[in-house]
Amino acid sequence: MEDRFLSREIKRTTIVDVGRQAGVSTKTVSRVFNDEPHVSEAIKDRVRAAAAALNYHPNVFAQSLVRRRSHLIGLVYEKPSASYVVELQMGVLDRLQGERYRLIVIPIQSAQDNASEIVGLLRAAALDGVVLAPPASDHPLILAQLEAAGIRYARIAPSRQLELGSSTLLDDVAGAQAVAAHVLSLGHRDIGIVKGDPTHAATDARLIGYGQAFRDAGCQLQLDRIETGLFTFDGGYAAARRLLERSDRPTAILAQNDEMAVGIMLAARELGLSIPEDLSIAGFDDAEVSRIAWPRLTTVRQPVFEMAVAATDMLIADLESRAGERHTHHSNSLLVRDSTAALRPDPS
């Protein structure tokens, strides 16, 4: 015998049920859920209370058809460190709480290689707007195509064409200058640098900051001690091996992000070096890995979560035609931990 529970038809709550519960017409219920004008607050409260009592939730897709809006917001990012991505997503989601907008995450392999495809992908997804993380937030083709398509956007930490769109701004140069000055103040002069992806504007900005700190200390960057690590753990490890296997190995290494810095830590330990006694290491970002590495990593904190919240807020204001700030400025801060120490005297 067929299970009577399986054969029982499950009744779905509809807009008609909500209207009956609230004592209003289905048209009035529809006007409330679509935020149409000329509905009193008392009626709105009755309809919402009825919907809550019946556990009714309006169909987002049907509402989108009525309003000719998808209420979908995209987040475009390249594949940097996992913790950076999590901070971005959590920031956007935090701002979207209580809003009708939903998040669509759009990871891309390379903004440089896929720039011509990104806006087409956004249009196909029928997004109302998009938050752009670096390096997409700085790519001229992506920005030009967004402007041409009329897609609203907000940018996280751009360094170019700041007149375009809304943006959250951060001074990478100042952050890099601070961490380099800290390492120099400890007496280090034989300093290696592991830079990130050359297609990211942050790579050049952080090199400029390092250079300013070196000049202030009366010394110069040694170009033959600059290696590329592409912002990855493996890239940092390989770059460190090249630096540390030299006969004139550096006494300190500046890494342009924390993922690479942890890769440098592994390479140093494999070569029998103690951190920070034999080698000081500093990163950038204050990613989660910087706090769980041992020793804990000296780094520069980037307020990624806060920047994602602010960018999403500005995008929503733009979509809702509300006046608001088009640019917000954020500060980074130097976090001195256990991976850097004063230069030890040469025993010879």
- Does residue 57 register a pLDDT over 80? no
- Residue 7 has what pLDDT? 44
- Does residue 172 register a pLDDT over 70? yes
- Residue 97 has what pLDDT? 93
| Region of poorest pLDDT, from 54-58, 116-120, 148-152 | 54-58
- Residue 65 has what pLDDT? 44
CB 259 within 8 A of CB 287: yes
Query: Where does residue 39 rank: exposed (0-12), middle (13-18), buried (19+ CB within 10 A)?
Result: middle
- Residue 59 has what pLDDT? 58
pTM: 0.78
Q: What is the pLDDT of residues 120-150, one digit of tens each?
A: 888 888 899 999 999 999 999 999 999 999 9
Q: DSSP characters for 46-80?
A: HHHHHHHHTT----HHHHHHHHT---EEEEEE---
CB 246 within 8 A of CB 226: no
- Residue 283 has what pLDDT? 98
Give the separation between CA 21 and CA 18, rounded to whole angstroms.
5
- Residue 8 has what pLDDT? 45
Please tell me whether residue 169 adopts helix, strand or coil conformation. Answer: strand
Whether omega for the bond prior to residue 37 falls within 30 degrees of 0, making it cis, is no
Please tell me whether residue 167 adopts helix, strand or coil conformation. Answer: strand
Q: What is the pLDDT of residues 64-110, one digit of tens each?
A: 544 556 789 999 998 767 778 889 999 999 999 988 899 999 888 88
Max mean pLDDT among 9-13, 81-85, 229-233, 320-324 falls in 229-233
- Residue 56 has what pLDDT? 77
The helix or strand, by DSSP H or E, that contains position 107, with its residue range, turns out to be strand 102-107
Amino acid identity of 214?
F
Q: Percent helix, strand, coil in the chain (nearest 5)?
A: 45, 15, 40
Q: What is the pLDDT of residues 193-236, one digit of tens each?
A: 999 999 888 999 999 999 999 999 999 999 999 999 999 999 99
Instruction: Name the phi and psi angles at 247, rounded to 5.
Output: -65, -30
Locate 31 and state its tokens.
């006007």
- Does residue 16 register a pLDDT over 70? yes
Q: How far is the first Cα of the chain from the last one, in angstroms, to the nearest whole number?
A: 91
- Does residue 1 register a pLDDT over 60? no
pLDDT band of residue 237 (cuts 50, 70, 90) is very high
Which domains does the chain carry? 4-58 (1.10.260.40), 72-171+303-332 (3.40.50.2300), 172-301 (3.40.50.2300)
Give the separation between CA 199 and CA 208, rounded to whole angstroms.
15
- Residue 348 has what pLDDT? 56
Average pLDDT of every residue of the chain? 89
- Angle between helix 111-124 and helix 140-149 axes, rounded to 10 deg: 10
Give the separation between CA 203 and CA 135, rounded to whole angstroms.
10
More confident site: 47 or 216? 216
- Residue 52 has what pLDDT? 84
- Residue 126 has what pLDDT? 85
Pairing mode of beta strands 191-195, 226-228:
parallel
pLDDT band of residue 62 (cuts 50, 70, 90) is low
Select from 66, 60, 86, 73 the least CA-distant residue to 122: 73
Query: Given the structure tokens 């690590």, which residue do they identify?
Result: 229
Question: Per-residue pLDDT averaged across 16-43, rounded?
Answer: 83
- Does residue 331 register a pLDDT over 90? yes
Please tell me whether residue 344 adopts helix, strand or coil conformation. Answer: coil
Give the separation between CA 254 and CA 173, rounded to whole angstroms.
14
CB 281 within 8 A of CB 256: no
Give the separation between CA 167 and CA 37, rounded to whole angstroms.
32
